[in-house]
Amino acid sequence: MTSEPIRLGVAGLGRAFVLMLPSLRADPRLRLVAAASPSPREAAAFTAEFGGPCHADVAALCADPGVEAVYVATPHALHRAHVIAALEAGKHVLVEKPLAVTLADGLAMVEAARKANRHLIVGPSHSFDAPVALARQIIDSGEFGRLRMLQALNYTDFLYRPRRPEELRSDQGGGVIFSQGIHQIDIVRLLAGGMVTQVSAMTGAWDPQRPAEGAYAALMHFANGVFASLSYSGMAHFDSDVWMGNVGELGHDKPADSYGAARRALASTTPADEIALKEARTFGGGHQPAPARHHEHFGPILALCDRADLRLTPDGVEVSADTRREFRPCPLTAAPRAPVLDALVTALREGRAPVQTGAWGLASLEVCHAILASAASGQPQRLSHQITTGMEP
């Protein structure tokens, strides 16, 4: 085992990378040594800060002998090509959620990781959040008996934030199910043991100007008898962060005047303006997330056990037991996404993979497709690619 920093290359310097960057900057166990981006502005910004090369394409990044692992942060539809290129070049991979858009792509990626004998980790997703890990620890301990039911809710204006055209096309992984639902699915699967047996769902696409699925409701059944209800709207006017202490998804306290900002901005923009706004949020565009005072979260989640209900919050877990209530805090770390980087370091330096492997990501992706198929057919969907929280890829 070596203690040298992981030499990390980054494929894609867009919004996903920007959100990951504060954690990467704060963690001495990783060193950003190279990147790939077609944008001259992003390339110049990367080289100016980190000193390493920014290649014009992902193939050149994967061929770079100085790169040990690749963080794939490119658009969803490109994940298969970029992940497999990295694996075939002998690199370990951390890929942004979702694993892929199609199940065929996901299966090919998992097989490529197996064949290359390299780690494939899917994240960051909110299943890595510290309050989720604490809730899982409480559930697994059996302190309050068995988990029986889960409820996950989230209401946002996601669909009205700046979007590239493909982010509004379901066949390109656009809409809320692949980008947002995957978070809820990952969290619920992690807490309930992973093995989903059946999904029933409905979806909503009510705005012809934003034609991808903007909302869904789903009922998930697990092999161990747990069931979970999931609801999400990215077309909402109500903001469910009011139920999270007015803390936003990234752990920031929301300003009182932020309500309606996304729709106000969109109302005064042309399609070209919208793309420009999206580009301004990429690396080198000047927009950086402010330091967070809380953990990241994905809306209200309640886990109901035999002798207590667990409510996940941005600061920890509220326990409502038979005769008492208590709060179990999660200390804040300097790196907001430290658990994701912990998983990468542990896999590469100690050989212990996290739960969120490629096979885990494939199982969550299968639930995304089951939601779409159930909504289209009106029938429950059975699943065949599920794994438990303890299964290795």
In this prediction, residue 283 carries a pLDDT of 87
Do 113 and 150 belong to one domain?
no
Do 151 and 250 belong to one domain?
yes
Name residue 113's amino acid: A
Domain assignment present for 362: no
Do 229 and 271 belong to one domain?
yes
Do 143 and 291 belong to one domain?
yes
Distance between CA atoms of residues 175 and 180, nearest Å: 8
Instruction: Report the C-alpha dihedral over residues 328, 125, 182, 292, rounded to 10 degrees.
Output: 70
DSSP-derived pairing of the beta strands 301-305 and 147-155: antiparallel
159 with 214: CB under 8 angstroms? Answer: yes
In this prediction, residue 136 carries a pLDDT of 98
User: Which residue's structure tokens are 């999400």?
Assistant: 232
Domain assignment present for 132: yes
On the 0-12 / 13-18 / 19+ scale of CB atoms within 10 A, 307 is exposed
What single DSSP character describes residue 4? S
Distance between CA atoms of residues 126 and 184, nearest Å: 8
Do 281 and 196 belong to one domain?
yes
Q: CB-side exposure of 126: number of CA atoms within 13 Å?
A: 26
Taking phi over 0 as left and psi of -120 to 50 as alpha, with beta for the rest, 168 belongs to alpha
In this prediction, residue 392 carries a pLDDT of 34
User: Which residue's structure tokens are 């903007």?
Assistant: 214
* CA 16 remoteness from chain centre: 10
Do 171 and 291 belong to one domain?
yes
Do 26 and 147 belong to one domain?
no
Do 197 and 294 belong to one domain?
yes
What single DSSP character describes residue 237? S
Domain assignment present for 392: no
139: nearest Cα among 222, 197, 201, 200: 222
Domain assignment present for 80: yes
82 with 105: CB under 8 angstroms? Answer: no
11-41 as b/e: b if 16+ CB within 10 A: bbbbbbbbbbbbbbeebebbbbbbbbbebee
Structural domain for 100, as ranges: 6-126+336-356
DSSP-derived pairing of the beta strands 120-122 and 301-305: unpaired
Name residue 125's amino acid: S
Write the CATH number for 77. Answer: 3.40.50.720
* Secondary structure of residue 68 in the 3-state scheme: coil
Whole-prediction pTM: 0.95
Do 198 and 316 belong to one domain?
yes
User: Which residue's structure tokens are 């539809």?
Assistant: 77
Residue 62 token pair: 């994967």
Domain assignment present for 390: no
Looking at the structure of the chain, the number of domains it has is 2
Do 74 and 208 belong to one domain?
no
In this prediction, residue 298 carries a pLDDT of 98
Domain assignment present for 1: no
Do 20 and 164 belong to one domain?
no
pLDDT along the chain (393 residues), means of 10: 89 95 95 96 95 97 98 96 98 98 98 98 96 98 98 97 89 93 98 98 95 97 98 97 96 92 88 77 77 95 98 98 98 92 97 97 98 98 94 34
Do 93 and 204 belong to one domain?
no
In this prediction, residue 197 carries a pLDDT of 98
Write the CATH number for 166. Answer: 3.30.360.10
DSSP-derived pairing of the beta strands 316-321 and 325-329: antiparallel
Distance between CA atoms of residues 165 and 172, nearest Å: 10
Residue 393 token pair: 């890829």
